Amino acid sequence: MDAVGRAGWIFLFIPTFLLIRGVSSSAALEVASLKAVSAAWGVGLEGVALATAGQWVENVVAGAACGIMDQAAIACGEENRLLPIVCQPCQVHSPILLPRGVRIWGIDSMASRSTMSVAYERARAAAFMGYKMIGQRLGIEMVPDSGSTIARWTDSRWKGYLSNLAPSEFRSRFESWLPESLGGREFLSSVGEHVDPFTRIAPDEEYPVRAAVRYASEENHRVRMLFALLGSTWVDSGRCLLLAGELLLQSHMAYTECGLGSAACDELVARALDAGFPGAKMTGGGGGGVVAVLGTEDSRGAMEQVAREFAGQQGALPHLFEGSSAGADSFGVRMVRVRPGQRNQ
């Protein structure tokens, strides 16, 4: 749930070859550049270190309040595998195969999204606001994490990650207490600054505090459930597929609750469900971008039909992603020698 700042388990549902189409394009450029430059200088930059360097560039140089999901997937992904990541701050687990016959497609909604958008930064800041409010209510001190490469705060109970707050505890102790919406000025006067180094609280802005905290807690739980489901034996493949699809749909709806909805993505999800797919969801930071659709290997024709129907509405054919390629570490570095005076045509 990298989108709202306090991340736990995630799966990357978008292809890890990452074409320059707004599908983690900035992270793709960062990792490719860092990989090439480090190789040229004889520096072995790979894995989590490579991903962290890319995130640092986004956070500190570009000023984008992104997490590490995209960079980790691009650096550590493997061909035709899902990549389980715990963003605390970045623990990459062994890539896994989908169960036999299961497929995931990505379809471009053609609605642009950005980790520097007002909606994204509002949702992320709201999660940090809720995190600080809960900490103050329980008397838990939040302090800068001196051991982190990327600036962040931590605490003795959740280690700085709202995703470590169990949904049952959130529901029973904090959901009704947290405000559904809270103005920035009111928060600053009653609580003080939040603890996110990469977003600011605007006094005149309203923040969806309750929904953002709920997302951080429940999205981590959903992904853990999906991870367990994918790792189990699909005795009843139809039922398991429906359960997995429901988890994706819940995640999609949670984006809207945080103010990160997208009419184009909602349309694609609705069309996928009408076509018989068990589930679909927005990916990344929400608010647009690519929709992941869960299905089976014999439903490619139905997926292409969804794309054609959506094109008829939008006036352009959306790009359809399927499968994934090797990440930067698996692909490695290719040396290209250019003769003096040779120019690209």
Task: DSSP letter for 165, please.
Answer: S
What is the pLDDT at residue 343? Answer: 58
Q: Is residue 196 annotated as part of the catalytic site, yes or no?
A: no
343 or 141: whose pLDDT is higher?
A: 141
What is the pLDDT at residue 71? Answer: 92
Name every residue whose Cβ is closer than 8 Å to that of residue 171 and which is 6 or more positions away in sequence. Answer: none
270 or 231: whose pLDDT is higher?
A: 270
What is the pLDDT at residue 223? Answer: 92
Cα distances (Å, whole numbers) of residue 37 to 30, 31, 44: 11, 10, 10
What is the pLDDT at residue 114? Answer: 61
Residue 180 has pLDDT above 90, yes or no: yes
Residue 141 has pLDDT above 60, yes or no: yes
What is the pLDDT at residue 80? Answer: 85
Name every residue whose Cβ is closer than 8 Å to that of residue 66 and which is 6 or more positions away in sequence. Answer: 2, 27, 55, 58, 59, 115, 285
232 or 262: whose pLDDT is higher?
A: 262
273 or 332: whose pLDDT is higher?
A: 273
What is the pLDDT at residue 344? Answer: 55
Q: Which of 74-78, 113-117, 137-141, 246-250 has the lowest mean pLDDT?
A: 113-117
Mean pLDDT across the stretch 301-309?
96
What is the pLDDT at residue 4? Answer: 44
The letter for the amino acid at 52 is: T
Residue 44: pLDDT band (50, 70, 90) is confident
The single residue of 70, 108, 155, 329 carrying the catalytic annotation is: 70
Mean pLDDT across the stretch 2-6?
45
Residue 5: pLDDT band (50, 70, 90) is very low
Q: Are 250 and 1 in contact (CB under 8 A)?
A: no
* Of the candidates 142, 167, 137, the residue with the CA atom closest to the CA atom of residue 156: 142
CA 16 – CA 25 distance, rounded (Å): 11
Q: Are 120 and 114 in contact (CB under 8 A)?
A: yes
Mean pLDDT across the stretch 283-308?
93
- With b for 16 or more beta-carbon neighbours within 10 A and e for fewer, the 258-294 pattern comes to bbbbbebbbbbbebbbebebbbbbbbbbbbbbbbbbb
Mean pLDDT across the stretch 139-154?
93
What is the pLDDT at residue 342? Answer: 62
Kindly report, residue by residue over 82-135, the tens digit of the pLDDT: 889 998 989 998 888 888 899 999 999 988 766 567 899 999 999 999 999 999
Q: Residue 296: enclosing H or E segment and its boundaries?
A: strand 290-296
DSSP string spanning 229-249? HHHS--SSHHHHHHHHHHHHH
